[in-house]
Structure 1
Amino acid sequence: MGQGAPTASDGLPPRDRARAMLVIILGLTVAVLDGSIVNLALPGIARELNAGAAQAIWVVNAYQIATLVMLLPLASLGERIGYRRVYLLGMALFAVSSLGAMLATSLPALVVARAVQGLGAAGIMSVNAALVRLTYPRAHLGRGMAINSLVVAILSFASWPWLFALNLPLGLFTLWLGRRALPFNPPSTHTGARLTVLDVTLNILMFALIFIGGEQLGVRGEASRAAAPLGWALLLAGVAVGWVYLRRQRRVAVPLFPVDLLRIPVFALSMGASVGAFCAQMLAFLSLPFLLLEAQGRSHFEAGLLITAWPLAIVVVAPFAGRLIGRFADGLLGGVGMAVFACGLVALAVLPPQPGVLDVAWRMLLCGAGFGLFQSPNNHTIVASAPLHCSGAASGMLGTARLTGQTLGAVLLAGIFAVWGQHDGQGESVALMAAAGCAALAGVCSVMRLRHGATVHA
């Protein structure tokens, strides 16, 4: 494939495809893994930098907020200057800021470096799916989305602290290979397609306020009660800003927040399914440690092994789901997956007081298998149902749906624990039943796509 010309509209040749996917997977690895491994290092960071736990958590929050608020602006920028360029700039920023994070000697310096890292990660993740769409032929796009889902599933339970120190050389290698392997896309030809400071500011405010409000309402033991009023205030402020922002976006010819894509029924239903699925997953992920550790009295080691069964099932099922794409309707696959997921969540909710290891493990496997069957087909529909020139916006919405669902799950769990409490298993069971309800709604959204057909744009 010549490196100076735009790529063909139906993917790259097999050899070039393999090199491009290697770059995409490496970028996804550093962005996703770096957003999670720091959680394990927070106690050590707080101790070494003489910071309290409430201050140290901003090492994680700064990364997540910077990623969330810039997904859509950078996806939109990719449609104007090229996904490849945004991806490589994001990787360069990520690598350089990793050096700053490693050399930081104070908490404020580390938080700033992590925010810059999050901005680089947004550049990588905002156009990730769009690059997959350009890399694979339409007939094989499902396999590419399955690989993406598989990598995220593996990283959700892998923890290699040494990778933090390898961000710089790994990022530089990805940059070098990416300049030679990533496909080009033609710039947007839509008149009036521009980024305005006001739109970007409103986008940042909406997501930042909603995220921070949700984080304040998250599960933090007794401290969460004191943080609740501020959390609700921030959340409501974010909703108010969002109302103004989205009304403005409806009048823009080429919106930053892709309200035009949400007018496509298949796309809107897929987004609803994604938000519901990730809301259910977050409800379960946050409540299960309380159930296993406090209500059932298990050790951290045993609880960790049991929870690992969930992503392990996703790793096994995701490639299988990718091969089913094209043979069966995405809406059907997603609906079946969410039905299995909901059954697993209900089974976890009705666990006996002192279940055996196998009693818990098969329920975890059922949840992971259902989610794995759902995710790849749903992501495929989100990307493929958008016109080719809107691939960046669709790609950005993938990450937006995931983080929106996770924030909603944290808020719902805070409300459930406020009413039913925790530690005795009752609140956890209610949360898992609520998660099953969210999964069922996601399944309904998925099945409803069958009425509209699987619109795929070239």
Structure 2
Amino acid sequence: MRLFETRPGDDGLPGAKRFLAVLALITGTLMAVVDTTMINLALPTIAADLGVSGARAVWITNLFQVICAAFLLVFAGISELVTRRRLYLFGLSVFVLAALGAALSRQLETLLVFRALQGLGAAATLSIGPSLYRAIFPSRLLGSALGLSALVVAGGYAAGPTLSGVILSFADWPWLFALNVPLGLVSLLLARRALPRDVPRKGSFDTLGALLSMMMLASFFLAMDAIAHTAPLWQSGGWLGMAVVACTAFIQRQRRAAYPLLPLSVFAEKRFTLAVSASGLAFIGQGLSFVALSFFYQEQMGFTPLETAWLFTPWPLAIMLVGPLAGRLADRINPSLISSTGLVLLIGGLISLGLVDESTGVLGSLWRTALCGIGFGMFQPPNNREMMASLPPERSANVSGVMSTTRTVGQSLGVALVGAALGLGLAVQWTLWLGALTTLMALLASLARVPLAGQALRQRRLSSEGR
């Protein structure tokens, strides 16, 4: 396979070890992604078995997501001091042990503790996943590697609900958590054997910056959750105000810290800043459309939750098919051109979904959803390549943390916008048009970096020829 060929002058790991390291990352990523989608579908079953209300059971998912979001930047910074390999092994170990604890839990309070620990473990692995791909693969294959990463994430999202339904059809819900234990042990063995070793950075850790980062991201997520569930204004406004205050203090701290958690200098690179902006805006559109279509399909078109899940399937399946190809092309031609083309298709898909009504058949919904998936699959791997390649390798951990945080923030904001629109009595289709608008803004950011990405590609070719 081309991804595992070794050429003279390649950086990264040699082919055989590269394969094992990637297998460890794939297994770990699949566990975190599939776990989230499986548990979402199982919440009613868990609530009934534990004898709790649906509103309380929702925190089985919410707590995982809040903890994971709050620690993404923190763990990216910690990885520089303890090395990415050790942090990844720590995260996997915590996730697997917490999954075992969750499987053995018979009370909601105990289950929530282990879900929080699972969120902590997931944050440790997801915060540095993209930077490990850069350390494992040679620079000439970075786009292809990130395309593979997109395939794995999309596959997890596609398989999660179906796998959950199959398991719950013949086993109790604890088996959803227990499934992670053998997979996690395999991933741990592979990671210990094959993940690259790097040299830890000398210097202190920005503890105050880490606390402010956790406060900022956790309060932002809680604010978005409150808005999505149309909570009282004082509640959502209070969380949002705390997020703004923490964000302001965090920025000031990063400007003064000797070893900042997130060096603000990375945003001086226009390619990086524009890629981050495009990513956040595109994820708003994706997160918004997923929730909006769930309401539309079930409440207006009368589909069951399982039928709705099948109607969503073309989106991640299209990413699985298109993402690796787009990543491979991004190693050869201007990545921003590919990303921009993908965003045009995504805008077309969202507009077409906004025109869906009760008379639209299943096939009409499926091709529109597939068009969105094709567009997002063309956008994400080349855009991630731009984020990762626009900064020096020593900034990979920072880039990885920003990448994961941007995805989480964008999706959370998209969900919140749907909740706010529904709370105001707006039709679901209006939120899809709003998703198309945010994606158009992402397209403008993507187009603005086309000349910069083209110049970087020419320099990379000249460097390769000179070597």
TM-score, normalising length: structure 1: 0.91
Q: After superposition, what is the alpha-carbon deviation per residue over 1:290-309, rounded to whole angstroms, capped at 9, x for unaligned?
A: 21222223344433322211
Distance in 2, matches of 1:121 and 1:450, equals 34
Distance 1:447 1:91, change over 3 A: same
Q: Which amino acid aligns with 1:445?
A: A
1:170 is aligned to 183
Q: After superposition, what is the alpha-carbon deviation per residue over 1:404-453, rounded to whole angstroms, capped at 9, x for unaligned?
A: 101111222223223343xxxxx211100000011111111111112333
| SS of structure 2 residue aligned to 1:217 | helix
| SS of structure 1 residue aligned to 2:424 | helix
| SS of structure 1 residue aligned to 2:449 | helix
2:70 is aligned to 69
Q: Which amino acid aligns with 2:140?
A: A
1:234 is aligned to 239
State whether structure 2 residue 262 is matched by structure 1 residue 257. Answer: yes
Distance in 1, matches of 2:132 and 2:150, equals 15
Q: After superposition, what is the alpha-carbon deviation per residue over 1:140-168, rounded to whole angstroms, capped at 9, x for unaligned?
A: 11111011100111111212245521222
Q: Which amino acid aligns with 1:416?
A: A
Distance in 2, matches of 1:132 and 1:56, equals 35
Q: Provide the aligned length of Structure 1 versus Structure 2.
A: 438
State whether structure 2 residue 364 is matched by structure 1 residue 354. Answer: no
| SS of structure 1 residue aligned to 2:218 | helix
Distance in 2, matches of 1:296 and 1:42, equals 23
Distance in 2, matches of 1:104 and 1:297, equals 35
1:383 is aligned to 388
Alpha-carbon deviation of 1:236?
2.0
CA contact (8 A) 2:88 2:125 kept: yes
1:181 is aligned to 194
Q: After superposition, what is the alpha-carbon deviation per residue over 1:20-60, rounded to whole angstroms, capped at 9, x for unaligned?
A: 10001011111121122111121122122222112111111
Distance in 2, matches of 1:139 and 1:323, equals 10
State whether structure 2 residue 322 is matched by structure 1 residue 312. Answer: no
Alpha-carbon deviation of 1:228?
4.2
CA contact (8 A) 1:134 1:185 kept: no
2:47 is aligned to 46
Question: Gaps spanning 5+ residues in structure 2: where?
Answer: 1-8, 165-174
CA contact (8 A) 1:279 1:406 kept: yes
State whether structure 2 residue 421 is matched by structure 1 residue 450. Answer: no
Distance in 2, matches of 1:300 and 1:453, equals 43
Distance in 1, matches of 2:87 and 2:315, equals 33
CA contact (8 A) 1:246 1:257 kept: no
Q: Which amino acid aligns with 1:296?
A: M
Alignment of 1:413-428 (within 5 A): 413-421=418-426, 427-428=427-428
Distance 1:74 1:372, change over 3 A: same
2:120 is aligned to 119
Q: Which amino acid aligns with 1:167?
A: N
Q: Which amino acid aligns with 1:185?
A: D
CA contact (8 A) 2:206 2:260 kept: no
Q: Which amino acid aligns with 1:439?
A: T
Distance in 2, matches of 1:247 and 1:410, equals 29
| SS of structure 2 residue aligned to 1:156 | helix
Alpha-carbon deviation of 1:88?
0.5
Alpha-carbon deviation of 1:78?
1.1
Distance in 1, matches of 2:127 and 2:74, equals 9
Distance in 1, matches of 2:263 and 2:387, equals 12
Distance in 1, matches of 2:200 and 2:395, equals 11
Distance in 2, matches of 1:292 and 1:182, equals 43
Alpha-carbon deviation of 1:352?
4.1
Distance 1:120 1:352, change over 3 A: closer
State whether structure 2 residue 306 is matched by structure 1 residue 293. Answer: no
2:274 is aligned to 269
2:435 is aligned to 435
2:37 is aligned to 36
Alpha-carbon deviation of 1:186?
2.3
Distance in 1, matches of 2:304 and 2:105, equals 34
Alpha-carbon deviation of 1:271?
0.6
Q: Which amino acid aligns with 1:302?
A: E
CA contact (8 A) 2:93 2:121 kept: yes
Pick one of 371, 376, 384 that aligns with 2:376.
371
State whether structure 2 residue 113 is matched by structure 1 residue 103. Answer: no
TM-score, normalising length: structure 2: 0.90
Pick one of 213, 217, 220 that aligns with 2:227.
217
State whether structure 2 residue 217 is matched by structure 1 residue 207. Answer: yes
| SS of structure 1 residue aligned to 2:13 | coil
Q: After superposition, what is the alpha-carbon deviation per residue over 1:212-260, rounded to whole angstroms, capped at 9, x for unaligned?
A: 1111111x4xxx3x44431222112211211111122122243213422
CA contact (8 A) 2:278 2:446 kept: yes
Distance in 2, matches of 1:360 and 1:139, equals 38
CA contact (8 A) 2:205 2:259 kept: no
Question: Gaps spanning 5+ residues in structure 1: where?
Answer: 1-7, 422-426
Distance in 2, matches of 1:255 and 1:451, equals 31
| SS of structure 1 residue aligned to 2:113 | helix
| SS of structure 1 residue aligned to 2:360 | coil
Distance in 2, matches of 1:296 and 1:149, equals 31
Give the percent of matched residue pairs that are identical in Structure 1 and Structure 2. 37
Distance 1:369 1:105, change over 3 A: same
Distance in 1, matches of 2:308 and 2:96, equals 34
CA contact (8 A) 2:140 2:331 kept: yes
The more displaced of 33-42 and 445-454 is 445-454
CA contact (8 A) 2:47 2:57 kept: yes
Cα RMSD of the aligned pairs, angstroms, is 1.9
Q: If each structure's helix is expressed as a fraction of its own residues, which one has the higher value?
A: 2
